[in-house]
Amino acid sequence: MSDFEPKIVAFFCNWCTFTAADLAGTSRLSYPPNLKIIRVMCSGMVDPKFVLKAFLNGADGVLIGGCWPGDCHYINGNFKARRRVALLTELLKQYGIGEERFWLRWIAASEGNMLKEVADEMTVKLKQLGPSPLQNMGQMVG
Amino acid sequence: MTKFAKLSFKKDELNKELSGFFKGMLENGAVNAVLAPMAQPKKGVRLSLVTSAAHTAQVDPFAPVAAVSGAKIASSLTARPSGRKVAMVLRPCEIRAVVELVKLKQVNLDDVLLIGMDCLGRYENTDFAKFQEQGGTSESFLENAQAGKTAMADFDIIGACKICEFPTADNVDMRLCAIGAGNGTVFIEAVTKKGEEALDKSGIKSGESPAGRDEAVKKLVAVRTDARDKKFTEYRAETNTFEALADKLSACINCYNCRVACPVCYCKECVFVTDTFRHNGDQFMMWADKGGMLKMPNDTIFYHLTRITHMSLFCVGCGQCTSACPNDIDLMPLFRTSADKTQARFNYQAGRSVDEEQPMAGFKSDELVEVTGQVK
Query: Are B88 and B191 members of one domain?
Result: yes
| Residue A141 falls inside a structural domain | no
Phi (first) and psi of residue A38, to 5 degrees: -120, 120
B4 neighbors B47 (Cβ within 8 angstroms): no
Residue of B nearest to A88 (CA): B309
Within a domain: B236: no
Q: State the best of A43, A46, A49 to mutate against chain B, taking most chain B CBs within 10 Å.
A: A49
pLDDT at A139: 55
pLDDT at A66 > cutoff 90: yes
Report the 3 state secondary structure along B14-77: HHHHHHHHHHHHHHCCCCCEEEEEEECCCCCEEEEEECCHHHCCCECCCCCECCCCHHHHHHHH
Q: CB-based contacts of B332: which residues, under 8 Å, 6+ apart?
A: B158, B159, B160, B317, B319, B321, B322
Q: Is the residue at A140 inside a domain? A: no
B282 and B313 assigned to the same domain: yes
Total domain count for chain B? Answer: 2
ipTM above 0.85, yes or no: yes
Please state, in angstroms and as integers, the Cα–Cα distance from residue B128 to each residue in B57, B64, B237, following that order. 20, 7, 32
Identify which of B239, B256, B257 has the alpha carbon closest to the alpha carbon of residue B247: B239
pTM reported for the whole predicted model:
0.94
B250 & B199 share domain: no
- The pairing of beta strand B112-117 with beta strand B45-50: unpaired
For residue A141, pLDDT beyond 60 = no
Is B370 among the domain residues? no
What residues of B are in contact with residue A70 (Cβ under 8 Å)?
365
The per-residue pLDDT of chain A, averaged, comes to 93
Q: Is residue B18 part of a domain?
A: yes
Does B198 share its domain with B266?
A: no
Rounded average pLDDT over B120-135:
96
pLDDT of B311: 96
The percentage of residues in chain A with a pLDDT greater than 90, rounded to a whole number, is: 89
The answer to whether residue B179 is domain-embedded is: yes
Question: What is the predicted pLDDT for the residue at B186?
Answer: 94
The answer on B291 and B178 residing in a single domain is no
**Together in a domain, B198 and B338:** no
Question: Residue A97 has what pLDDT?
Answer: 93
A40 assigned to some structural domain: yes
Domain around B64: 3-227
> Do B211 and B65 reside in the same domain of the chain?
yes
Domain enclosing residue A40, as ranges: 8-134
pLDDT at A123: 97
Answer for the pair B268, B317: CB distance below 8 angstroms, yes or no: no
Q: What is the CATH number of the domain that holds A15?
A: 3.40.50
Q: Choose the final residue of a domain: B195, B227, B259.
A: B227
The answer to whether position A45 is within a domain reads yes
For residues B23 and B71, state if they share a domain: yes
How many residue pairs bridge chain A and chain B with CB atoms within 8 Å of each other? 122
Sorting pLDDT into bands at 50, 70 and 90, what band is A134? Answer: confident
Q: Does one domain contain both B40 and B128?
A: yes
Structure letter (DSSP) for residue A111: -
Q: Which of A50, A71, A139 to mutate to test the interface with B (most CBs of B within 10 A)?
A: A139
Rounded (10°) angle between helices B70-78 and B92-103: 40
Per CB-CB distance under 8 Å, the chain B contacts of A134 are: 242
Contact A115, A107 (CB under 8 A): yes
Instruction: Say if A114 is an interface residue toward chain B (CB within 8 Å).
Output: no
Residue B98 lies inside a defined structural domain of this protein: yes
Q: How many other C-beta atoms can be found within 10 angstroms of the C-beta atom of residue B211?
A: 11
In a domain, A139, yes or no: no
pLDDT in the model for residue A103: 97
The domain boundary, picked from B177, B204, B227, lies at B227
Confidence of residue B304 (pLDDT cuts 50, 70, 90): very high
Q: Do A96 and B241 touch (CB under 8 A)?
A: yes
Residue B366 lies in a domain: no
Residue B200 and residue B53 share a domain: yes
Per-residue confidence band for B110, with pLDDT thresholds at 50, 70 and 90 = very high
**Nearest Cα residue in chain A from B369:** A82
Interface test with A, best of B243, B305, B338, B376 (most A CBs within 10 A): B305
Which H helix or E strand runs over A141?
helix A138-141
Query: Looking at the structure, do residues B220 and B263 belong to the same domain, yes or no?
Result: no
Do both B98 and B15 map to the same domain?
yes
How many structural domains are present in chain A? 1
Q: Within its chain, how far is the Cα of B161 from the centroid? A: 10
Nearest C-alpha in A relative to B339: A91
> Which residues of chain B from 190 to 249 reach within 8 Å of chain A, CB to CB?
236, 239-243, 245-246
**B1 pLDDT exceeds 90?**
no
